[in-house]
């Protein structure tokens, strides 16, 4: 699948070193709901205990909040990392409560560069929260540690961590590749604002495991990804923008190997995502193709779907678990 060996790491450059003896795993939860909503949780476990926790985006229903359920089930009191990829409601609902309940002075919160919520259509709650967090990026005495993201930022710079087993080091790296500064400058010059082109896309790497968390990036941003970007193995690809054809150029970038590609659903208005033909194309490259909803919506019996992926960094293997409406995709 991939090599887990990562030697010659200079551990002195990391703020935290976690020593472990046997097991190093990443647990990834892709969470979706029946009609809309996307959020992702990840935990890094060293010898069973959670050493680092992160959340990407947020959504909940009035009677179902899978993020809160999973955090409580795993005994997580505070999150280390929160990334709000973009302020669409289907990536934002409930985030204010999550920050109030699970953020601390040690939590680092990331929001996209170049977003003015007054220019976009979103709820008043989302506008107020984004404006509050944006203000924190320039206030040295702010309540939360908030930073804005464009391309090629080290999102672990302030809380760097390396997992150490004997002489072998496994640094946790999170590098952003969007919003792309060239795309932002072009749209500013043309006096345009396309919300999904300001979405954060980053790669989480632990040792040699790479997880692509793509938000809702679309083709203008995807075209800026370097041509050699996909030469290395991809463990998890979160399919961008719920499997829309507006992000279809991700399939044209020549990536050769992927263990798992997964999508959430978006079924509102004229949209019925993911598109079957897009999923079919991903199935030709990914070993497993998963979705938080069923291809045949009439067979869904729950209001949510959760994909859980447990990746053993040392033993080079992974397991998948599905809950609710989540399943292997078959068009």
The answer to whether the bond into 302 is cis (omega within 30° of 0) is no
Q: What is the DSSP string of 170-232?
A: EEEEEEEEES-HHHHHHHHHTT---GGGG--EEEEEETTEEEEE-TT--HHHHTTS-TTTTSS
pLDDT > 50? residue 29: yes
- 245-259 burial code (b ≥16 CB/10 A, e <16): ebbbbbbeeebeebb
What does the pLDDT read at residue 9?
65
Copy the structure tokens of residue 132: 């509050």
pLDDT at 273 over 70: yes
Token pair of 272 as six digits = 């019925």
Q: What confidence category does residue 1 fall into, taking pLDDT thresholds of 50, 70 and 90? A: very low
Q: How confident is the model at residue 279 (pLDDT cuts 50, 70, 90)?
A: very high
Q: Report how far apart the first and last C-alpha atoms of the chain are (Å, whole number).
A: 26
- Report the C-alpha gap between 33 and 27 in whole angstroms: 20
- The per-residue pLDDT for 331 is 58
Mean pLDDT of 64-93: 97
Q: What is the pLDDT of residue 2?
A: 44
Are the CB atoms for 260 and 287 separated by under 8 Å? yes
Task: Average the pLDDT over 96-115 and give the result.
Answer: 95
Confidence of residue 5 (pLDDT cuts 50, 70, 90): very low
3-state secondary structure of 267: coil
What residue ranges do the domains of the chain occupy? 16-326
107-111, 187-191, 242-246, 256-260: which range is least confident on average?
187-191
* pLDDT, averaged across the chain: 92
What integer pLDDT is reported at residue 4 of this predicted model? 41
pLDDT of residue 300: 97
pLDDT in tens, 30-65: 999 999 999 999 999 999 999 999 999 999 999 999
Instruction: Say which residues have a Cβ less than 8 Å from residue 159's Cβ, sequence separation at least 6.
Output: 15, 16, 80, 81, 106, 108
Is the backbone of residue 27 left (phi > 0), alpha (psi -120 to 50) or beta? beta
| 227 alpha-carbon distance from chain centroid | 22
Whole-prediction pTM? 0.95
- Nearest Cα neighbor of 291 from 301, 281, 304 is 304
pLDDT per residue as tens digits for the range 138-184:
998 999 999 999 999 999 999 999 999 999 999 999 999 999 888 88
Under DSSP, the state recorded for 273 is: B
Per-residue confidence band for 3, with pLDDT thresholds at 50, 70 and 90: very low
Is the pLDDT at 330 greater than 80, yes or no?
no
| Predicted pLDDT of residue 8 | 59
Q: What's the whole-number mean pLDDT along residues 197-204?
A: 94
- Angle of helix 66-73 relative to helix 95-102, nearest 10 degrees, comes to 20
The encoded tokens of residue 159 equal 């809380």
Question: Are the CB atoms for 275 and 248 separated by under 8 Å?
Answer: no
Asked if residue 6 has pLDDT above 60, the reply is no
Q: What pLDDT does residue 195 have?
A: 79
Q: Select from 15, 33, 20, 73 the least CA-distant residue to 207.
A: 20
Do the Cβ atoms of 11 and 162 come closer than 8 Å? yes
How far apart (Å, rounded) are the C-alpha atoms in residues 170 and 26? 12
Please determine, for residue 7, whether its predicted confidence score (pLDDT) is greater than 90.
no
Q: Which CATH class is domain 16-326?
A: alpha beta
| pLDDT (average), residues 288-308 | 97
CA atoms of 322 and 6, how far apart (whole Å): 31
Q: Please tell me the predicted confidence (pLDDT) of residue 13.
A: 84
């Amino acid at each position: 699948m991939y090599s887990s060996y990562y030697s010659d790491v200079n551990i002195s450059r990391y703020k935290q070193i976690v020593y472990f003896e046997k097991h190093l795993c990443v647990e990834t939860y892709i969470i979706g709901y029946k009609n809309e909503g996307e959020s992702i949780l990840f935990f890094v476990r060293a010898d069973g205990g959670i050493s680092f926790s992160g959340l990407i985006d947020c959504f909940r229903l009035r009677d179902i909040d899978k993020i809160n359920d999973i955090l409580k089930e795993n005994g997580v009191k505070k999150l280390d990392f929160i990334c709000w990829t973009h302020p669409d409601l289907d990536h934002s609902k409930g985030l204010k409560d999550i920050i109030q309940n699970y953020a601390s002075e040690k939590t680092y919160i990331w929001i996209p560069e170049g977003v003015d919520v007054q220019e976009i259509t979103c709820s008043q709650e989302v506008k107020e929260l984004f404006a509050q967090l944006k203000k924190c990026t320039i206030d040295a005495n702010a309540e939360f540690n908030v930073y804005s993201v464009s391309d090629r930022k080290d999102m672990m710079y302030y809380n760097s961590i390396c997992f150490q087993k004997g002489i072998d080091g496994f640094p946790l790296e999170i590098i952003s590749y969007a919003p792309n500064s060239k795309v932002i400058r072009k749209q500013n010059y043309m006096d345009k604002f396309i919300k999904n082109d300001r979405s954060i896309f980053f790669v989480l790497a632990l040792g040699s495991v790479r997880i692509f968390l793509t938000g809702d990036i679309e083709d203008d941003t995807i075209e800026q990804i370097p041509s050699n970007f996909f030469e290395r193995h991809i463990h998890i690809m979160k399919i961008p923008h719920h499997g829309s054809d507006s992000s279809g150029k991700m399939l044209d970038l020549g990536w050769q190997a992927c263990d798992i590609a997964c999508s959430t659903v978006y079924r509102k208005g004229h949209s019925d995502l993911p598109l079957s033909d897009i999923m079919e194309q991903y199935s030709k490259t990914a070993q497993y193709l998963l979705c938080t909803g069923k291809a045949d919506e009439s067979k869904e019996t729950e209001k949510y779907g959760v994909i859980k992926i447990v990746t053993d960094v040392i033993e080079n293997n992974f397991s998948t678990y599905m809950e609710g409406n989540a399943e292997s995709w078959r068009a």
